[in-house]
Every structure is written in structure tokens, then in C-alpha cells.
Amino acid sequence: MCSLKSVLVILFPITLILSLAGCATSPMGRKQLTVMSESQMNSMGANSFEELKRKMKISQNARFNQLTKCLSRELLNAAEQNPNEWEVVVFAENSPNAFALPGNKIGVHTGMIQLAQNPDQLAAVIGHEIGHVLAQHGNERTSQALLAQGGIMAANIALGDGSPKRNLLLAGIGLGAQFGILMPFSRKHETEADKLGVQYMAKAGYDPLQASRLWVTMGQKAGGSPPEFLSTHPSPDSRVRYLESYGAQFTGTYQTSRSKARCR
């Protein structure tokens, strides 16, 4: 019968890989583990986006579409991307949400457009989503999940059916992977995308301090959010604090570029 020590020996190399290894570098200079190819991720993202367009109602609101696509063009130019290679869709959904998928796909809910108090705040949201795509967060998350699942499967085999503690230990291993590896990495992705979004919006001529203002409103709307260590996202209070500090570093860039902003 395998001991807990044996299970930890099995999991340690995988944990070490997830924590330290990297075969790519994010735009913020962080080492990343990406085991999926770009073409695989792009295909998965495109297929998922097409499915969402079939299932969800696409907004016909001319003002919402014009503003969202105008901001996307300016932010993509600031990120040195070709806007013609990206697809941006506004979905008629009341929830204040937006998302990004590999393959240069961005979706914005009408609820998020309505929540944003000005174009600068909406620019923070769209810039954040562009950041997720350019930083290959989808690939990184998929890679982490695959390796974590592999560790649980290895422990399952090592423990065997004869261990009375097998189910308990496997449950603990699953929680350890979720809270110890996958969630913290997800929060790291959110923070990285926030900061990239601030950079893009400032370069495009939108006030980077409005990113933190948006999260004040989001925090009020969220109400009782779960503790940060149990969430895949930083808490609204944490976000407001670091976005205020980080945004202040780009006020000079904004002041220089503000005449470029055309989307109002």
C-alpha cells in the first residue's frame, strides 16, 4: 500500500513543473508553461466562439457596437496588433461581463457596456481581454489543468484500490491542485491582463486611472464576493489598490496620447 509520502513524491515533480518551468514568456516577462500549440488553441477558441454566437443573442444596438469596435481598434493598434485579424462581438446579455478566447476572439456583454461610466472604463475592460489573448493565458491554463489532472491520475494508480484512505487522499490532492496551483495562477493571469490593459489604454489615449474607478463600481455590484484565496480573480478591493498604483505610472503616457482617442 502506498503512503502519503509516496503520493507527494509523485506530485512534487508536477508541482515543480507548474511553478517553475516555462517554454514561453508573457508580455510582462513572466515565464510560462504552454504545452498546447498555437494552432490547437486558435482552433479551440474559434470553435467555442462560433458556438457562443449560435447560442447567445448578438446585440443589434448600433451605439454599443460602434463604441465597442471603435475602442477595440484603437486598443489593438496600441498593442501593435492588426485589428482586421480580430473578431469582436457584442452579446445582448445583462450580466456585466466580457471574455477573450484564443484565436483573437473577444466578446463583450451589453451589461458591461452599460456598467462602464465612460469610454475609458470600457477601454479598460477590452484592453484587459486583449491582454489575456496576447499573454496566451488560455494556453497556460489548459496546460496547467492537463498536468494537474495527470498528477491526480498518477496518484490514483499508485494508491491502488486497496488503500482505505484512497478517496480521502485523492480528494485532498484535488483540492491542493485547485487552491495551491490553478487558482493562484488564474489570479496571476487576471492581474497581468489588468496591467496590460492599462498599458494599452494609456497608449491609445484613455485615462488609465479609470481602470480602478471601474472596479470600485464592480466591487459595489459584486456585494459579498468569496475570500480571495478561494476565488480565481483578485478581490475588487485588491484590484482597486493595485490598479490605482499601476495606472498612476502611465498618466504621462496618457497625457501624451490623449489626442489620439476618437471613440466617444
Active centre residues (catalytic): 129
Cα–Cα nearest to 100, from 84, 79, 86: 86
Cα–Cα nearest to 210, from 129, 107, 115, 139: 115
Cβ pair 175, 65 in contact under 8 A? no
Residues linked to residue 32 through DSSP beta bridges, in sequence order: 24
- 67: cell is 463604441
CA distance 86 to 25: 22
Residue 110 neighbours by CB under 8 Å, 6+ apart: 59, 61, 64, 90, 91, 92, 93, 94
Cβ pair 81, 129 in contact under 8 A? no
231: exposed, middle or buried (C-beta count within 10 Å: 0-12, 13-18, 19+)? middle
Residue 37 neighbours by CB under 8 Å, 6+ apart: none
